[in-house]
A and B are shown apart, each in its own frame.
Chain A
Amino acid sequence: MFFYYIKLALLSYRRNPVLSSLMVLAIAVGIGAFMVVYTLTYIMGGDPIPQKSDQLYHIQFDYGDPAISAFEPPPQLTYRDAMAMLEAPFDYPRTATSRFSEAIEPPSRNIAPFFANGRGALSDFFTMFDVPFLYGGPWGAESDSNGEQVVVLSRDMNDRLFGGENSVGKNLDLGGLVFTIVGVLDEWQPIPKFYDLNNGQFNVSEEVYVPWHLIASQELRRSGNTNCWAPPEGDDFQAFLNAECAWIQYWVQLPDQNAFNEYQSFLNSYVEEQRAFGRMRVPVDKRLFNVIEWMEEQEALPNEIKVLTVLAGLLLAVCLLNTVGLLLAKFLGKSAELGVRQALGANKSSLMIQHTIETGVLGTIGGLLGLGFAVLGMEGVKILLSGDIPLDWLGIDMTMAMTTVGLAIISGVFAGLYPIWRTSRINPAIHLKTQ
């Protein structure tokens, strides 16, 4: 019977091609537009590290000067607090991390010197964030404290400098210093770049990674957001490091609730201690944020996308209302046929099944067309955004494609509920007489 109903649905499409195509178009357009926006939300707001997102915590301190009106505590750490956190007596993996930008003098004279985006991090950074390695591995923990000049390259940078061959053990001239290459990363581009949401959450991952302490000890050219709420007491670099200026991201991995509680009470007493020195006087609600909480707090998903989601949802609603109206017109238009079918032995539920399948067929056609629209729309978005952020990750994958068609079928059937209910209440007898 199922295929019989499919056949009837297709015949019915052929009988009112204009009306049916309007419905398909309405579903397709509504679903297509909605899926474009939903895909953006899904990718941009998705969990970038699902296996660990509830274990990785960023610290927020009660920074600021109450005298400055409407001051929001900056989401990064000062050098002084980052150092204190690193010295805390815990074995939990942790990393202070921040950006820098330095000139690279390539080993090959054929490539002109250029500036590379770099990141200072502790060796735990790579294991905490499950960073994939192509060659070699992270530097050891002793390199962190000894200020060894070791470097990890991104895959792209290794391709550029060494033509993609294993460069571990070679030297790299970076910012006028000689570094030893200890590892080369595989492709790594978390979306969003959760470990540093303050410097472009969709920016390209950094190209070189060095022990974080070198940023201070070698005065590497820092880059990225810096928020100060008191002027440094002095003009040299040391004065800056001591100042109330936040520029460091700080992550700690807390495997369970006990660890969380322990670390939280440590933080609370640290803040109390600092208050005694007149610091940390703008209270915050919360000091430890896991990855998902941090993304929400930092509004990693742009407001634009949220507004678009609301509007696309309403667009879909209009398209469905449209479909409901057209389906109603269509179904009520074949009251006579329904009367005949009942006279010939159809019961109400078989008619309802017939119509549900018909709406399902319309939804499927609409969904396939909508998938086409969504793919086109996604390409359009890529064109609109090209040049702003890397876009390799923007696209409709198999899950999204299935979701699109599935949602379209559900929408079609949903839009059909009322019209089907209406047709089921038609008295067959009155439609059998001459129209």
Chain B
Amino acid sequence: MEFGPILRSLLRNKTGALLIALQIMVTLTVIVNAIYIIQERSQHMTKPSGLDEANITHILSIGYGESFNAEATTDNDLRVLRGMTGVADATVINAIPVSSSGSSNGYMVEPGRLELAVMAAQYRSDDHAISTMGLELIAGENFSPNEIVRHEPGTARTDTSVIVTRAMAEALYPDDAAETTIGRIFYAADDTALQIKGIVERLQVPWPSADFAENSVIYPEIELDGGNYYLVRHEPGYRDENLPRVEETLAAQNDTRVLRENQTFEQTRTITFIPDNAMTSILSIVVSILMFITGLGIVGLAVFTINRRRRQIGTRRALGAGHIQILRYFLVENFVISTVGVIFGAIMTVALNMFLVNNFDLAPLQWYFVPAGMAVLLVLGQLAVVGPAWRASRMSPATATRNI
């Protein structure tokens, strides 16, 4: 193998090679970190909410004025919604999962031990919550209709049963299987006692980036403050047709209120993830541009060095070198340069990741991203150089003797 001569030739013309190696180094650093961020964000965006997302819509109703009767309106709205054609079920709730807006609280297994608090989202809804959202009840029971409390703002809350998610049960009782925690009592930050009545497999909190993404507690309570989110699950195929009808129907019931945010769950998801979506799109573009520019740089310099070595290549051809040997010469040369680039690039990649972790709350890189990125760039280098090298290998031996 002509490895030795290639290396010595490279060391004599180091600048060009060094520039390519540096480019590959920085490119590796950027693309590995960018792809890692993209992948992290995508996981975020695709995390299941636990809801039957394809069939759910929601609408916000806010009543105003002295004549507005929150309780009567809520009861009537729910009755009308549940009676609509194509509606599977409907419920009233204080916050919509994945919507970015809701309320959270700290919970403890012993009263007054704030230092042990586990954060969770509080959902307040009725006995139709599980059925409307399409949640999977894995243990215990659903609320019964007569359990649902009508809470007037400014009045005291009482001890109650709740339904929690599997993640919440496990966070409260890390040593026990979630299913075995039915009937246990834990406490809210204000020391209200809460008894676990049922456990659902999954229900995301309103804030997808929260570190307690699946810690949710559902209270059997309708808050009568005039503002209601209605969640509606439609029969398959009815969602789009029903969406405008939901608003029309509610508007017809009562005119001392404002209706807003009549949207599908998919729209909610899109709106919540606009920044993440923008970030991943921009990063994908950055990665593509970088690969493209680095590839072009390698092609450009390869064409140049080959042109400068026309005579030498011609001479080699005249001395009996075959196409393959010429081709291989340039491929091996690029491989040597790229290898140096990716090795230093790997170090710089980890360094940049550490910088991002320390300064911008990013999670540390998983190790296998680095070798994967190195492999991609080695392949990119070979692909970029193969065209010019192929042309060089086709060069006529007569080039050696011709004046240019």
Complex A–B touching at CB under 8 A: yes
A236 with B283, Cβ < 8 A, contacts A26-B297, A29-B289, A231-B189 known: no
| Cβ of B340 under 8 Å from chain A | no
Q: How far is it, in angstroms, between the C-alpha of A332 and the C-alpha of B19 when the chains are bound? A: 15
Residues of B within 8 A of A422 (CB): 15
Contact A308 B282 (CB under 8 A): yes
- Point out the residue from A69, A310, A321 that lies within 8 Å of B22, measured CB to CB: A321
Q: How far is it, in angstroms, between the C-alpha of A29 and the C-alpha of B287 when the chains are bound? A: 12
Most A CB contacts (10 A, CB to CB) among B64, B256, B283 go to B64
Q: How far is it, in angstroms, between the C-alpha of A157 and the C-alpha of B17 when the chains are bound? A: 63
Provide the B189-220 mask, 1 if CB < 8 A to any CB of A, else 0: 11100000000000000000000000000000
- Point out the residue from B23, B286, B305 that lies within 8 Å of A322, measured CB to CB: B23
Residues of B within 8 A of A311 (CB): 30, 33-34, 283, 286
| Cβ of B361 under 8 Å from chain A | yes
Q: How far is it, in angstroms, between the C-alpha of A330 and the C-alpha of B304 when the chains are bound? A: 8
Which chain B residues numbered 338 to 382 have a C-beta less than 8 Å away from chain A? Answer: 352, 355-356, 359-362
Q: How far is it, in angstroms, between the C-alpha of A25 and the C-alpha of B299 when the chains are bound? A: 14
Contact B16 A328 (CB under 8 A): yes
Chain A interface size range: 35 or more
Provide the B136-161 mask, 1 if CB < 8 A to any CB of A, else 0: 00000000000000000011110000
Quick one: closest A residue to B106, CB to CB? A68
Residues of B within 8 A of A105 (CB): 64
| Cβ of A372 under 8 Å from chain B | no
Contact B293 A103 (CB under 8 A): no
Q: How far is it, in angstroms, between the C-alpha of A325 and the C-alpha of B117 when the chains are bound? A: 58
Q: How far is it, in angstroms, between the C-alpha of A387 and the C-alpha of B271 when the chains are bound? A: 7
| Cβ of B57 under 8 Å from chain A | no
For the complex formed, measure the closest distance between the CB of A332 and the CB atoms of chain B, giving whole angstroms. Answer: 8
| Cβ of B20 under 8 Å from chain A | yes
Contact B308 A333 (CB under 8 A): yes
Contact A69 B293 (CB under 8 A): no
Contact B258 A68 (CB under 8 A): no
Contact A103 B62 (CB under 8 A): yes
Contact A235 B155 (CB under 8 A): yes
Which chain A residues numbered 295 to 310 have a C-beta less than 8 Å away from chain B? Answer: 302-304, 306-308, 310
Residues of A within 8 A of B297 (CB): 22, 26, 321-322, 325-326
| Segment from A83-91, A312-320, A351-359 that makes contact with B | A312-320
For the complex formed, measure the closest distance between the CB of B296 and the CB atoms of chain A, giving whole angstroms. Answer: 6
Q: How far is it, in angstroms, between the C-alpha of A333 and the C-alpha of B66 when the chains are bound? A: 86
Residues of A within 8 A of B26 (CB): 314, 317-318, 321
Contact A310 B278 (CB under 8 A): no
Residues of A within 8 A of B275 (CB): 302, 304, 385, 388
For the complex formed, measure the closest distance between the CB of B238 and the CB atoms of chain A, giving whole angstroms. Answer: 26
- Point out the residue from B157, B289, B293 that lies within 8 Å of A235, measured CB to CB: B157
Which chain A residues numbered 402 to 435 have a C-beta less than 8 Å away from chain B? Answer: 418, 422, 434-435
For the complex formed, measure the closest distance between the CB of A23 and the CB atoms of chain B, giving whole angstroms. Answer: 8
Quick one: closest A residue to B189, CB to CB? A231
Contact B260 A115 (CB under 8 A): yes
Which chain A residues numbered 341 to 385 have a C-beta less than 8 Å away from chain B? Answer: 380-381, 384-385
Q: How far is it, in angstroms, between the C-alpha of A303 and the C-alpha of B363 when the chains are bound? A: 13
Contact B30 A318 (CB under 8 A): yes
Contact A176 B274 (CB under 8 A): no
A19 with B356, Cβ < 8 A, contacts A318-B294, A322-B297 known: no
For the complex formed, measure the closest distance between the CB of A361 and the CB atoms of chain B, giving whole angstroms. Answer: 18
Contact B293 A326 (CB under 8 A): no
A237 with B286, Cβ < 8 A, contacts A103-B62, A326-B301 known: no
Quick one: closest A residue to B67, CB to CB? A176
Contact A65 B114 (CB under 8 A): yes
Contact B258 A329 (CB under 8 A): no
- What are 14 residue pairs bridging A and B, where the CB atoms are less than 8 Å apart in the complex? A19-B304, A33-B289, A69-B115, A103-B62, A103-B258, A113-B258, A304-B275, A308-B283, A315-B289, A322-B19, A322-B294, A322-B297, A325-B300, A385-B278
Binding site for B on A (CB under 8 A): 18-19, 22, 25-26, 29-30, 33, 65, 67-69, 102-103, 105, 112-115, 175-176, 231, 235-237, 302-304, 306-308, 310-312, 314-315, 317-319, 321-322, 324-326, 328-330, 332-333, 380-381, 384-388, 418, 422, 434-435
List of 5 A-B pairs having minimum Cβ-Cβ separation, nearest first = A231-B190, A103-B64, A329-B304, A384-B278, A322-B297
20 more A-B residue pairs beyond the given contacts A22-B296, A321-B23, A384-B281, with a C-beta to C-beta distance below 8 A: A19-B303, A29-B292, A68-B114, A68-B117, A103-B65, A115-B258, A306-B360, A307-B37, A311-B286, A318-B30, A318-B294, A321-B26, A321-B297, A326-B304, A333-B304, A381-B282, A386-B274, A387-B270, A434-B403, A435-B403
